[in-house]
Structure 1
Amino acid sequence: MQLLIFILAYPLLWIISVLPRWLFYAFSDVVFFWVYRVIKYRKKVVRSNLELVFPEKSDAERKRIQIAFYRHMCDMFLEMVKTMNLSKAAVKKRYAVQNIEVLQEIEKEKSILIVCSHYANWEWNVSINNYVDAKGYAVYQPVGNKYFDRWIRNVRARWNTTLISSQDTVKTVVRNKRDGVIGIFGMVSDQSPQYHRAHYWTEFMGINVPVINGAETMARKMDLAVVFLKVSKVKRGYYKAQLIPITTSGASTEKNEITDQFLRLTEQQIREKPEYYLWTHKRWKHRGKVPARSK
């Protein structure tokens, strides 16, 4: 069944990926209509999140953000499909890195952990590996369909990126350190952890919630440099990235220091242009549940 689904879906994905720009985004407009107006995909979740995070905004302002978010979400997920037929030269035009020298200097001496959030187009963040010499890795959750999972891996490999599961990340860093291999590891770190695995609670967008601190734990233990990747949407289909150093030595930081800086930078990014954050996630679902041991 998995193979059949892949065989049926692949031709459509390929056709979408080669559409000319005007038709590609016209198709995205059609997808937006169905997702937002007809299917109403997670509209209650998005509305609830915006009301929770932006109580100071009017209903009209939150409605504008909501509609703009759904338009962007449709663009972004179709741009993920576009990746399968997007050359290195093309992605460099669509995704510009403003200060790649930040990575180029650090990679001369040690491995780097790039942390980012579900903002703008995180799918194209892996194209940064086209600018550096170090081996690039992207931490991801394997797809249930093994054929789609293999396809995703092959697409990323075109941009000098190796996909590794979250379970394999630490041992990959350890192996590289043992073998003297410098690597650049990219992680999206703003997800909500499972409640029973939450070890650190703090405010995110003014709400006390559990946060994932696996990136910090690895950076401190393996003494990785940590860089925040701030991505801005310039216009439809075009983005710019800024690399903001958090630390050049994870081992020298205090507990929760890296995590807190990541959260503050993410909050700043969201408040600047909230429509480009992934509001369909139930990011604040554990609010108000902080256990006594974490208070």
Structure 2
Amino acid sequence: MNHIIYKIIYAILYMHALLPFRVLYILSDILYIPVYYIVRYRRKVVRTNLKNSFPEKSKKELLEIEHQFYHHFCDYFVETIKLLHITDEEIKKHITFKNMELVDNLMKDGNSAIMYLGHYGNWEWVPSITLHVNKDTLLGQIYRPLKNKAFDNIFLKIRSRFGSVSISKNNTLRSIIQYKQSGQKVLIGFMSDQTPAWNNIHYWTTFMNQNTAVFTGVERISKQTGFSITYLDIKKVARGKYNCEVKLISANPKEEPEFAITERYIREMEKTILHNPAYWLWTHKRWKYKKEDFEKR
């Protein structure tokens, strides 16, 4: 049954992917109306997140960011569908990567690296970075499997469009160690701006004006494997146009103090969001856990 549902959904999405960008953005503008005004998809969550993150902004300013976010959210949806039918040359016109020589230098002599990023801009286009790295480097991305098997298979297909490998979060460390032992050079992407589970909370910091629990797994993995760590700063410069810049977090993670890598990532992620808040994923319940509740536990 899941296979049949997958085939139907895939066929519908693929037909939309055949459309040119200008038509897809018309569909995005149409989609915005039911998403924002009728379904009101997570509007309370978005509104609360924005209010708490920007206490200094007026209601008018917050509402403007809110509207911009939902317009971008619909753009993200149609842009992601487009990955089912887009050429390498076309994607290169829509997303660029700066300072890739940093990755090349870190990965000399068979070394591997980790790339931090967040749910900012269109993160589904980031795997096209494989078009800009050495051919002997494998790109992997950590993902959380979706409960709906049909949609999970579709997203796996989309994310493998440029030859990257999707690694389930439950197999992260095992897979990375296997790559290291086999001598395979890898660049592993981690999206660490979500909320860790209660039993995975080891570090709190201030992020977007709020006490925030953050993932520390990337730091632990880098210290265990010695993988260098970078950060991908994404900027949306126009509709369907993204500029990405690779920044160094740590070349020698084993020498870093505890939580220094995690804190550095959080500060970079915050700077990315503050540059233009509308393009972060505000629908996520990022602050559902409170520090005072954690301390009671």
Same fold (TM over 0.5): yes
1:128 maps onto 2:129 in alignment: yes
Pair 1:291 & 2:274 matched: no
Change (3 A) 1:166 1:30: same
Q: Does 1:118 align with 2:155?
A: no
Tell me, yes or no, if structure 1 residue 26 matches structure 2 residue 10: no
Contact 2:115-2:190 at 8 Å conserved across structures: yes
Task: Give CA deviations for 1:105-132 in whole Å, capped at 9, x if unaligned.
Answer: 2122311000011111111111111111
Q: How high is the TM-score relative to the length of structure 1?
A: 0.95
CA distance in 2, matches of 1:283, 1:145: 22
Q: Identify the residue that residue 216 of structure 1 maps to in structure 2.
A: 219
CA shift for structure 1 position 238:
0.9
Contact 1:209 1:290 in 2 (8 A): no
Is the 8 Å Cα contact of residues 201 and 290 (structure 1) preserved in structure 2?
no
SS in structure 2 at match of 1:289: helix
Greater displacement, 244-253 / 281-290: 281-290
User: Is residue 187–residue 215 contact of structure 1 (8 Å, CA) maintained in 2?
Assistant: yes
SS of residue in 2 equivalent to 1:286: coil
| Long gaps (5+) in structure 1 | none
Q: Within 5 Å, which residues of 2 pair with 1:136-215?
A: 136-215=139-218
Question: C-alpha deviations, 1:96-152, integer Å up to 9, x for none?
Answer: 112211112212231100001111111111111111121110111123343443343
Matching residue's letter, 2:77: F
Over 6 Å off, 4+ runs: none
Q: What are the superposed Cα offsets for residues 218-249 of structure 1, whole Å, 9 maximum, x if unpaired?
A: 01111110000010001111101000001112
Greater displacement, 79-88 / 284-293: 284-293
SS of alignment partner, residue 291 of structure 1: helix
Cα distance in 2 for partners of 1:150, 1:74 equals 21
Query: Residue 118 of structure 1 aligns to which amino acid in structure 2?
Result: H
Give the root-mean-square deviation of aligned CA atoms. 1.6
Q: In the alignment, is residue 228 of structure 1 matched against residue 231 of structure 2?
A: yes
Query: Deviations for 1:184-203, whole angstroms, at most 9, x for unmatched residues?
Result: 00010010111233111111
Partners of 2:14 and 2:265 lie apart in 1 by 36
Q: Could you tell me the percent identity over the aligned residues?
A: 34
Separation in structure 1 between the aligned mates of residue 74 and residue 212 of structure 2, nearest angstrom: 28
Distance 2:184 2:222 in 1: 16
| Offset at residue 2 of structure 1 (A) | 2.1
Alignment partner for residue 259 of structure 1, among 234, 258, 262?
262
User: How many Å apart are 1:91 and its aligned residue?
Assistant: 0.9
State the alpha-carbon separation in 2 of the partners of residues 288 and 105 from structure 1: 40
